[in-house]
Amino acid sequence: MNMLFHHHSIESLAFDNRFTRELPADPQTDNLRRQVHGACYSRVMPTRVAAPRLVAFSREVGELLDLTDATCLSPDFTEVFVGNKVLPGMDPMAMCYGGHQFGSWAGQLGDGRAINLGEIVNNSKERWTLQLKGAGPTPYSRRADGLAVLRSSIREFLCSEAMFHLGIPTTRALSVITTGELVERDMFYDGHPKDEPGAVVCRVSPSFLRFGNFEILAARGETALLQQLVDYTIRTDFPELGSPSPATYNKWFAEICRTTAAMIIHWMRVGFVHGVMNTDNMSILGLTIDYGPYGWLEDFSPDWTPNTTDAHGRRYSFNNQPHIGQWNLLQLANAIYPLVGRVEPLQEALTEYNEVFLNGWNLMMAGKLGFTSFEKSTDDTIIKELVEILPLIETDMTIFFRKLATLPTSLQVAATDPLPKPLLDAYYQPEQLTEKYTATMNRWLKTYLSRAQKDKGSKQERRQRMNRTNPKYVLRNYLAQLAIDKAEAGDYALVGELLDLLRNPYDEQPKKEHFAAKRPEWARNRAGCSMLSCSS
């Protein structure tokens, strides 16, 4: 296929499957669950489904694959991206990986419900892997069914694209398609299973490799294959680091430390909580991957986690994410140690993670506050105090920062004043605004505004700068749930509307104001809004 040819139909997608061409396959080709040794993947076909129907597609991801809207709306598209039709040139397979789950080594996990269809090189010479999630069992499905339900598929689809438009590194989502079949799930693990509509998401990423792909080979002592996979990854996704050697492995690890830190800083900026930061859910490219029981901070509670499975330990709570990122990197360091042979460079990169994170966090917070740079002598305290004050009472993080941007730096505030009016929108329970709280917040505001007043940046542009860092629209947990409720009743319009809204998360979008409102009371304790399980 001529690469310069503009794709018009699905049939003209040009596959170039480097991963399966260069890395060893599991010789066994039947679709039976097993431990897979000496291989990076197992070939497996998606399972056919009865009555697929397109719920939504992302135009921008279609464009990455040189697919037009018309093609994405064609019946062929639905057949292909639900897994009913395998195109010539595809080489479907599931990857073998392991992982540390909730702090313990879990052995082989692998793509239990993900099937990689193949790699596309688009007209801009970018390489994209296409992956179906929920398209049936694979050799890695263990005791589960390989399927996914509509609710979690909509959550993954919308959040991947929302994150992209927020400027956060992430895997992408091309489409979500219902299968016309039912899938049984016990959402709360309480012995009350329910039939739910099944769905398949097509995910798109330069690579789906996780820390766990490397860990499983190290754990099994398959060092030659480990080196082959690392060399492959460096040549494919990190060519700028030079040809593979122990020195390059160290540079590679240091780079993964930096991209992981950068990703988590973005999460902290927008109030995203991943929910299951197991090492099998950590992308080697520093992309947000595997949207499961994730959530968005509504009130700013640093120890909040959306994942009910983690409610006790809170290992993956908002504030713990930076630390867990480093813990996961340590597991990756252990895995590649046999190739490097020395602890010091790996240790150094892990230590540097702290610095990179702290510098990035300071810059990010300074940006949220509208400062053009981080000035340690003043800003350290301003930031530290703010993250102590925000959790004191129920405060909507997203609204708070947008409203803060509206306050003029010349505003005079005294401790005994009521809070500046615009900020009142950010609070969930007005009765919590005690005199003591108000005085504390006003004192902080006074210091903050005078610092903002002295900032080098232009006063006129302060609000715009802040609004480019502080989104107005995020995928609030209850919004996703509203779209799911409607979709389960066959109405997909809200999925499309939210996708469209979240294309421009930093814009005011006056007609869409209601989507920026704080969580309504009904959603406070509703399943799917405040609590999520891994059952998906």
| Catalytic site positions | 280
> Which region, judged by CB under 6 A, interacts with ligand AMP, from 141-149, 231-239, 350-358, 457-465?
141-149
- Determine if 161 is a binding residue for Mg ion (CB under 5 A): no
Contact criterion met (CB below 8 Å) for 368 and 463: no
Query: Per rule CB under 6 A, is residue 274 in the interface with ligand AMP?
Result: no
49 touches ligand AMP (CB under 6 A): no
Where does this chain touch ligand AMP (CB under 6 A) — which range of 110-118, 240-248, 366-374, 402-410? 110-118
Q: What is d(CA 204, CA 385) in angstroms, rounded to the nearest whole number?
A: 40
Q: Are 254 and 352 spatial neighbours (Cβ–Cβ below 8 Å)?
A: yes
Stretch that binds ligand AMP, among 57-65, 108-116, 309-317, 436-444 (CB under 6 A): 108-116
* 144 binds, options ligand AMP, Mg ion, none, Cβ within 5 to 8 A by partner type: ligand AMP
Q: How many CA atoms lie within 13 A of 431 on its CB side?
A: 0
Within 10 A of 482 (CB to CB), how many other CB atoms are there?
18
Is 199 or 499 the residue whose CB approaches Mg ion more closely?
Answer: 199
Cα atoms in the 13 Å half-sphere on the side-chain side of 482: 15
- In which region does residue 313 sit, left (phi positive, over 0), alpha (psi from -120 to 50) or beta (all else)? alpha
Exposure string over 200-219, b if 16+ CB within 10 A, otherwise e: bbbbbbbbbbbbbbbbbbbb
Q: Torsions phi, psi of 296, nearest 5?
A: -115, 135
**171 SS3 class:** coil
Q: Which of 52, 92, 110, 322 binds ligand AMP (CB under 6 A)?
A: 110
Segment near Mg ion (CB under 5 A); pick from 19-27, 87-95, 261-269, 283-291: 283-291
The correct pick among 3, 144, 182, 411 for binding ligand AMP (CB under 6 A) is 144
Whole-number CA gyration radius for the chain: 24
Note whether 109 binds ligand AMP by CB under 6 A: yes
* Tokens of residue 33, six digits: 């669950």
Contact status: 455 vs Mg ion (CB under 5 A): no
- In the complex with ligand AMP, the residue whose CB is nearer, 287 or 516, is 287
Compute the least distance from the CB of residue 139 to ligand AMP, in Å: 11
- Please state, in angstroms and as integers, the Cα–Cα distance from residue 173 to each residue in 80, 132, 158, 211, following that order: 15, 10, 8, 21
Q: Does 156 bind Mg ion (CB under 5 A)?
A: no
Q: How far is the CB of 251 from ligand AMP (least distance, A)?
A: 29
Helices (H) and strands (E) in the chain, counts: 16, 11
Whose Cβ is closer to ligand AMP: residue 395's or residue 535's? 535
Task: Give the residue with the Cβ less far from ligand AMP, 183 or 452.
Answer: 183
Contacting ligand AMP (CB under 6 A), which of 168, 276, 494, 502? Answer: 276
* Cβ–Cβ under 8 Å, residues 290 and 211: no
Q: Which of 290, 298, 379, 396 binds Mg ion (CB under 5 A)?
A: 290
Shortest Å, Cβ 278 to ligand AMP: 5
Site size toward ligand AMP (CB under 6 A) is 18
Determine the interface stretch with Mg ion among 172-180, 281-289, 319-327, 393-401 (rule: CB under 5 A): 281-289
| Amino acid type, 83 | G
Q: Which of 47, 84, 279, 281 binds ligand AMP (CB under 6 A)?
A: 281
- Nearer CB in complex with ligand AMP: 292/360: 292
Nearest CB to ligand AMP, comparing residues 10 and 532: 532
**Nearest approach, Cβ of 259 to ligand AMP (angstroms)?**
20
Binding flag, residue 146, ligand AMP (CB under 6 A): yes
Task: Identify whether the C-beta of residue 233 lies closer than 8 Å to the C-beta of residue 335.
Answer: no
Helices (H), 2-139: 18-22, 59-64, 69-72, 75-82
- Residue 515 CB, nearest distance to Mg ion (Å)? 29
Of residues 45 and 534, the one with the C-beta less far from ligand AMP: 534
Q: Closest residue to ligand AMP, Cβ-based?
A: 112
SS3 166: coil
Which of 262, 218, 217, 254 lies closest to 234, judged by CA? 254
Give the C-alpha separation, 445 to 429, whole Å: 20
Task: Find the binder of ligand AMP among 131, 153, 178, 278 (CB under 6 A).
Answer: 278
Q: How far apart are CA 527 and CA 189, in angstroms?
A: 13
CB of 227 to Mg ion, least distance (A): 25
Cα 420 to Cα 91, 406, 415, 450, distances in angstroms: 60, 10, 11, 15
Neighbours of 42 (CB within 10 A): 25
141 binds ligand AMP (CB under 6 A): yes
Please tell me whether residue 290 binds ligand AMP under the rule CB under 6 A: yes
**Which listed residue (111, 196, 396, 455) binds ligand AMP by CB under 6 A?**
111
**Nearest C-alpha neighbor of 122 from the set 203, 61, 202:** 61
Distance CA 516, CA 479 (A): 10
Rounded to the nearest whole angstrom, what is the least distance from the CB of residue 112 to Mg ion in the complex?
Answer: 8
Binding residues with Mg ion: total (CB under 5 A): 2
Element (H, E) at 179: strand 172-185
Q: What is the contact surface with Mg ion in residues (CB under 5 A)?
A: 281, 290
Q: What is the contact surface with ligand AMP in residues (CB under 6 A)?
A: 109-113, 140-141, 144-147, 276, 278, 280-281, 290, 292, 534
